[in-house]
Structure 1
Amino acid sequence: GIHPGGIGGTGIHPGGIGGTGITALGVIQRFGSIYVNGQEYVLSPQTRYSVDGTAGTAKDLRLGDRVTVQAAADGQAVAQVVRVEHAVIGRVTNVDAAKRQFTILGETIQAGKMTPLTVHNSDQSLPFAALKAGDVVSVSGLDRGNGHWLATEICRRYPADAAPARVPLLLRGRVDAIYPGQNTLEVGATKLKVNGTLLRAIQVGQSVVVRGEYTDGKTRAESISPTALAAQEVGNRVSLLGYLDRGTDGWTTHGVSLVENHHTLYENGDAADMQAGSMVAI
């Protein structure tokens, strides 16, 4: 498993960014500034923060969070925007403590030995065995495809016995199927009932984030929006860490298409070694 301190050696070299900007998509490995994919990003008073699209502060950043950082690179990389993007938020339905696995919304989430489990709005950390069915948690992680995630950070928002009647729901992933007649959307391993009008704006194969809530135990999706990096958000350098997925036009990771050519350099292998489910640093 990957833990936030162990992503080093990925072949991403911090030097030589130059130019106007860099977009990094990876995991917070350590603080000071923040380190993502082995690169330091300086946090300045001008840095803006968001958590799942809502404005936040530097205090919202946790070790192991999956983030997108947009930075201006001028000698050192200064973060302009840091976006925390949780993989899944919801109610835990079952836990396999021996395998360090748990399920939310039908998604299977694998925790590594070093994956931190913390308590919302506190500095408290918990052993994995403290996670129980019914707990409401947010998970940062990397998408392994087909409804499987590698958790890099888990935060317990409410213990099972103290969860309110309405709790938030969030799911990222690729749209695998749309059933307009049934007002149903399939993302990863999850089928969700949605308002039919929300289905008109999306298509199969798109990377989306679904937001909603559980009301009296029933899941209700309230919004579906595309998550792929918009062209105008990308600097002239991009740093990505993720699992390879096979898209309609070739390889993707995090919904970003990877275009290879004869100049592409490969470390620890070559083009023939690219396979779905492999973790890569780009």
Structure 2
Amino acid sequence: MKQAVGTLAPCSESARSDAEVLLAAVTGKPRHEPYGFPERHLASPDAERYRCWIERRCAGEPVAYLLGQREFWSLCLRTTPDVLIPRPETELLVQTALNLLAHTQQPRVADLGTGSGAIALALANERPDLRVTAVEVCGAALDVARDNAAALDLRNVEFLQGNWCEPLQGLEGFEMLISNPPYVASNDPHLAQGDLRFEPSLALDGGPDGLAAYRQILGRAHRVLRPGAIMLFEHGYDQGVQVPALLREHGYTDVSSAKDYAGQPRLCFGRWPGTAENC
């Protein structure tokens, strides 16, 4: 363990945590057990597997991809390089959606750009009466989301392949559209750094100003939302002015914003009044 932490320290800000989590996955034991039994040694096959994982993590490969899973909203989700790794801050999006829908019976909700299915499945698990439609343009990512739904035995979710709102045409009457779209600007140097190097660019690259996906979604969303329905977005920490402004420009009212657990602007939502103005 000590050697693994030392190896990871120059290349990971979470070296000790990474080493503990990977060792626990190899041994099947609680992550802190090695500290109570320092005399124990890994068997040869386990030691080789652990060494390989440490090397790959040191090269920047995310722990979630090494393990093939990530916990989100207390759900264990299969996670592959075809999908964005679910982030803790996105749980705020789920909680906000649940709060906004608390008094709506059997609401119809669509998760646009579902990826691993994290948002859609968290909502479906928390509210069995929800009718959730998960939309994803990438077929490989949609397969991961379907597998996660099957593993969790969640049957109130349907999956559609396509770009943003396009597969929803003809399915009018949604009480909420929710999305964590790509919002990193194409020239942002962070895309070539750290874990982001390994994640799908389709789920990260938001165009020249990071707002391309928001414009595409808002250009069609009004066609499937019922009057008074909610459009709910996650956005970048530096987009707390631009994304709410886009909602207003497209005719949404009662636009509100919220900060994440670090105090950074992270999400916004507005209500569709049910008119064709500003579309």
Larger Rg: 2
Q: Which bin holds the TM-score, normalised by the shorter protein?
A: 0.3 to 0.5
TM-score, normalised to structure 1's length?
0.33
Give the number of the structure whose residues are more often strand, by fraction: 1
Greater relative contact order (Cα < 8 A, sep 6+): 1
TM-score, normalised to structure 2's length?
0.33
